[in-house]
Amino acid sequence: MAMIDIVKYEGDNQEFAWKFPNDALSTKSQLIVNESQVAVLFRGGKAYDIYEPGRHTLNTENIPLLNAIINLPFGKESPFKAEIWYVNMAHVLDVKWGTQTPVNIQDPKYGIYVPVSAYGQFGMTINDPKTFLKKMVGTVPSFGREHITKYFRGMYTSHVKDEISTYLIEKRIPVLDLGAYLTELSAFMKQQMMSEFDAYGIELLNFYVEDISTDDDDEGVVRLKQALSKRAEMDIIGYEYKEERTFDALVGAAQNEGSTGGFMGAGIGLGVGSAVGQNLGAAMNEVTQSVLKTETRTCSNCNHPVNEGDKFCGNCAQILQAPEHRCTCGAVVGEHQKFCHECGQSLHNKCTACDAPLKQDAKFCPDCGKAVVDDEA
């Protein structure tokens, strides 16, 4: 076999790695390496010297590692067999990726499994030619985009499931809201995948998630959309889910005449009638109060709510009920009563108006002048 005089890259510029088809070389062969490329010399499946862009003569000065193996004579033309691989070191920014089949992901807020499909593109460059050739290329004559997509499909499909699930759990985001977080999700996934690409001699420059979609006909997606729609409706009209359930239960009880009688039905009817033109939440509260007969006391002066045992209004100090007069024995007695009807104890030891001490036979209070009523014996 004739020795090759010129070794240069003749493959497609879209290739990441290309093998020179002839392995019959000599110490006079000229190796031409273009910009954004490097050439790697292999012998017996082992990588030896790396050649940067330029023109190189494969003599003993340029192949020191190989020279130690095959013991080339100095200064003479010597034939030898070796493989020359060209590696494209340019930045490639538009490698497409996508999930072939939907990946089931559990929604962190609602616990429903939703099938998710995703696609996008990533950018890469080869930063370790020897590692890339040994781990990725193998025995194929060339290695292009389709090989990258194929080799890494399983890896990024697994990462799509793991990283999206992790991101959802950390951020507490529903699956259907992921479309609003694609930029953050892309950066998160790139950070998680960089080390795995690096193990193959590849630097991951960027990783973009362009779209995430779900199957609208899937049962889990339908249930999740219904739940979100229901929640949105409740947020708009201003009441909570448990209140709606109470309202439904009351309406059902009103329709069942035998369960609670005519009063409940009438109460609900009045409550619903009064809700015309009002917020449904306010109407429901009115219905609930009328049905359960939970009356709230209010002050007769300012209409402020008061508690059952309050004697004065906490808002305007209005007297809510006359204070009870009691004997020391605990019996309730009249305001002007002179003796307790229970124990016979004298009650007019103090003035009923100002609480000043009175003598037993006093007819007027010496402090405020109020007459002491003389009860009949």
Kind of pairing, strands 83-88 and 46-51?
A: unpaired
The whole-angstrom separation of Cα 201 and Cα 136 is 9
- How far, in Å, CA of 210 to CA of 182, rounded? 7
Residue 263 predicted with pLDDT over 50: no
Q: Give the tens place of pLDDT for each residue, 18-32.
A: 989 888 888 788 899
Residues 6+ apart with CB under 8 A from 352: 325, 335, 336, 370
Cβ contacts of residue 364 below 8 Å, gap of 6+? 370, 371, 372
* The model scores a pTM over 0.85: no
CA distance 4 to 31: 10
* Residue range 225-248, pLDDT digits in tens: 887 777 777 776 655 555 666 666
Residue 64 tokens read as: 């020191």
Nearest to 174 by CA among 223, 219, 242: 223
- Per-residue pLDDT of 151-165, as tens digits, reads 888 787 788 888 888
Q: Regarding predicted confidence, which is higher, 267 or 129?
A: 129
Question: What is the SS3 assignment for 358?
Answer: coil
Q: In the predicted model, what is the mean pLDDT of residues 67-86?
A: 70
Query: 268 near 291, Cβ under 8 Å?
Result: yes
Q: Residue 306: how many CB atoms within 10 A of its CB? A: 20
Question: pLDDT tens-digit profile of 49-61?
Answer: 889 999 988 776 6
Residue 84: its H or E element: strand 83-88
Burial 323-350 (b: 16+ CB within 10 A, else e): eeeebeeeeebeeebeebeeeeeebbee
**pLDDT for position 201:** 93
CB-based contact 32:23 (threshold 8 Å): no
CB-CB neighbours of 284 under 10 Å:
22
**Mean pLDDT of the region 313-323:** 74
Cα torsion for 40, 43, 49, 53, to the nearest 10°? -30
pLDDT tens, residue by residue, 108-129: 877 888 888 899 999 999 999 9
Contact by Cβ (8 Å): 25, 82: yes
151: nearest Cα among 198, 215, 197, 220: 197
- SS3 of 267, please? helix
Model confidence at 39: pLDDT above 60: yes
- Per DSSP, 237 falls in state H
CA separation for the pair 55, 36 (Å, rounded): 14
Nearest residue to 114 (alpha-carbon basis) of 28, 36, 219:
219
Q: What does the pLDDT read at residue 105? A: 86
